[in-house]
Amino acid sequence: MTTAALSTLDVRDILKAGGEPFSQIMQAVEALTPGQGLRLLATFKPVPLFGAMAQRGFGHTEREIGGGDWEVIFTPAVPSADAARTAPGAAR
């Protein structure tokens, strides 16, 4: 996935101020176009978010970018060929 296919959301200032950015993250996810991913910048590795995003059909990769900050790339999961064949209404 290219950087152009990503929307970036930096929640580090919100977190440093003691805020909770979950609603802003979900708004950013809702604003994504089909096939677009989200680049999230946070002050910690947001492990609880991984499950919430997986339920919305996103996989992720993460890396520490220095100073305790993290970059997480959420990308739309691509259904496997097997899942597509067994999905309800799939052509057989």
Residue 62 belongs to domain with CATH number: 3.30.110.40
Is residue 82 in some structural domain? no
Q: What are phi and psi of 64, to 5 degrees?
A: -75, 135
Is residue 88 in some structural domain? no
Rounded percentage of the chain residues whose pLDDT exceeds 90: 77
pLDDT one-digit tens code per residue, 7-46: 999 999 999 999 999 999 999 999 999 999 999 999 999 9
pLDDT score for 48: 94
Is residue 69 in some structural domain? yes
pLDDT score for 59: 97
Is residue 20 in some structural domain? yes
pTM for the complete prediction? 0.81
Structural domain containing residue 73: 3-77
pLDDT classification of 67: cutoffs 50, 70, 90: very high
pLDDT one-digit tens code per residue, 69-90: 999 999 998 765 444 444 444 4
Domains in the chain: how many in total?
1
Q: Give, in order, the Cα–Cα distances in Å from 82 to each of 2, 16, 87, 90.
A: 26, 44, 9, 11
pLDDT score for 20: 96
Distance CA 92, CA 81 (A): 12
Q: Give, in order, the Cα–Cα distances in Å from 51 to each of 26, 61, 74, 89.
A: 13, 13, 11, 27
